[in-house]
Structure 1
């Protein structure tokens, strides 16, 4: 059991698999160096001492990255304009042997990225093992999440920890015995259970993250939950209370939700845009780097047109979404997720080789 914490101040089932060797260094969605994945024994209190120290140096979930707001979105020309990468892309994590001899066509690459084979290829090894051992569990990489789950996951992934630790934390809170699928469930769980969930995830920043998830639930229930969604899963009022203006909605969320900064908002919008179509199409800076590395356009509108151009030849029957427009948005998001996963897992060459031979 984790050591007791001081009370924090108030503030659809998995999509059928839309569908491993680790990178040299842990990869992360942020520009911060990832923390060591090694964890202390349960009786060792150093992990929580580190959490206490982190409270002193971290300001709003994204540490130094939140000096300026970055909440412009699809309706704004600023968000559409491609930003320069803030850091090198680690040589695309491609092997020293170079690119595969046979390059796939754009249609082959898109079709492979949407396949279950690509999903398994870019899945982290520890997640693959977890799925094999536990069966039909919900994962960030292969499940359809609601807006609250996406927001909670974005907060976790925006921490300066490795991507794998972030994914493990998300798997832990989304599945038994916690099932944190909406704001009401998180609030009703209580402080002790939230801390136990993050402790069970064997992650870093566990105490602070548990407190911020609790505060997130409070804010969502208070400010962003509509009468027809009393559990706080859809965040409908984030848009409706801001005249369906995405820039205003994101600014409101950043202002009101402790621990949600620029990186978290970017991750959230990258994933939720198929449901919040006012933000479509959108590609964040981190994913632009990954698209370049794999040979796809990093421009959101050009990638959307590429998907449209090849749509009739793509295998999309398994994708979530009611109607063709929603399925196209979902396909766009899945492509971004698989490309980012391939880059973070050092699987860019493998994806290209498999796509070329498909």
Structure 2
């Protein structure tokens, strides 16, 4: 059953999207948009394709089929086209590090990330901050770890990230950890990673849980709530399937369904063609939800980095065959 509709109102400066190179911010200018999935008229079951795209030089480029595109977006091969070049360079330099673009994160990490990414900074600075706080030497991967680190380390972490609004971001990191440990932690999750008490106390009503979260966490506005739900919905199943309005724009540029249930159905339709072994999830249903979230992240990542055309071109060159999936 779809979650009950709830309205989250944006502040005057929330969700601005800068379109200049390297200054894209993940967000929305929606006024009071409902948090549940938007519905559009379902398209033909035959995966219709839009007119061929044309390059800047006027050459016609064939649009990949939706089957090709989804398969490619769910593969490791697509990762480089869905993240900043700076992040790729960081991975090559530092090795196996946790990144927002590719790693499975727990709900606490998703909450911190949502607050960081909804701030009025560039998308790349947001991702750099996330990479810094979740990896050595900080490892702020639980509320307990953040609290034990102390204010000095919070400030040092954001300073090392070379981000903007350092003092405010450091203050928010500490405050979020304190609230999670005080209000949303169960005896089985003493480190404060899962936020399960938040969901339990809300009767598994995702809209109630999000309202409580927004009221409890300083710095978490409408944009942050949408980012958080987009990422955590594969675990918070009462909120699934959900597509925020900003990600709808990115899916539209890829000629993929902007309706949540239509996209869910398209993934299911071609599921037998995916090599889903590497996808997170304890069972097939969870893996399908994870695939759905991955498609959303790949779409908005490519869009924010100006790599949509590159992604389409690469997908069109791929044969329809099983590729190793990731994320």
* TM-score where L is the length of structure 2: 0.84
CA distance in 2, matches of 1:103, 1:314: 20
Residues 26, 123 of structure 2: 8 Å contact kept: yes
Per chain length, whose mean CA-contact separation is higher, i.e. which structure has more relative contact order (CA < 8 Å, sep 6+)?
A: 1
Question: How far has the Cα of 1:99 moved from its partner?
Answer: 8.3
Distance 1:239 1:100, change over 3 A: farther
Aligned to 1:164, which of 118, 124, 132? 124
Distance 1:212 1:98, change over 3 A: farther
In structure 1, the residue corresponding to 2:69 is in which secondary structure? helix
Q: Say yes or no: does 1:328 pair with 2:285.
A: no
**Equivalenced residues, count:** 287
CA deviation string 1:191-223 (max 9, x = no partner): 110011001000011110110111100110011
Which residue is 1:341 aligned to?
Answer: 301
Residues 38, 260 of structure 2: 8 Å contact kept: no
Residues 100, 352 of structure 1: 8 Å contact kept: no
CA distance in 2, matches of 1:141, 1:299: 23
Which residue is 2:147 aligned to?
Answer: 187
Residues 91, 97 of structure 2: 8 Å contact kept: yes
1:136-215 matches, within 5 Å, as 136-215=96-175
Q: CA RMSD in A?
A: 1.9
1:208-287 matches, within 5 Å, as 208-287=168-247
Q: Post-superposition, which runs of at least 4 consecutive aligned residues in structure 1 deviate over 3 A?
A: 94-100
Residues 110, 335 of structure 1: 8 Å contact kept: yes
Q: Say yes or no: does 1:105 pair with 2:62.
A: no
Any stretches of 5+ residues in structure 1 without a counterpart?
Answer: 1-21, 33-64, 74-78, 84-93
Residues 110, 314 of structure 1: 8 Å contact kept: no
CA distance in 2, matches of 1:267, 1:179: 22
Q: Say yes or no: does 1:128 pair with 2:109.
A: no
Residues 198, 209 of structure 1: 8 Å contact kept: yes
Which residue is 1:26 aligned to?
Answer: 23
Question: How far has the Cα of 1:103 moved from its partner?
Answer: 1.2
Aligned to 1:309, which of 248, 251, 269? 269
Question: How far has the Cα of 1:30 moved from its partner?
Answer: 2.6
Residues 38, 243 of structure 2: 8 Å contact kept: no
CA distance in 2, matches of 1:180, 1:325: 30
Any stretches of 5+ residues in structure 2 without a counterpart?
Answer: 1-18, 41-53, 319-327
CA deviation string 1:212-241 (max 9, x = no partner): 111100110011111100000000011100
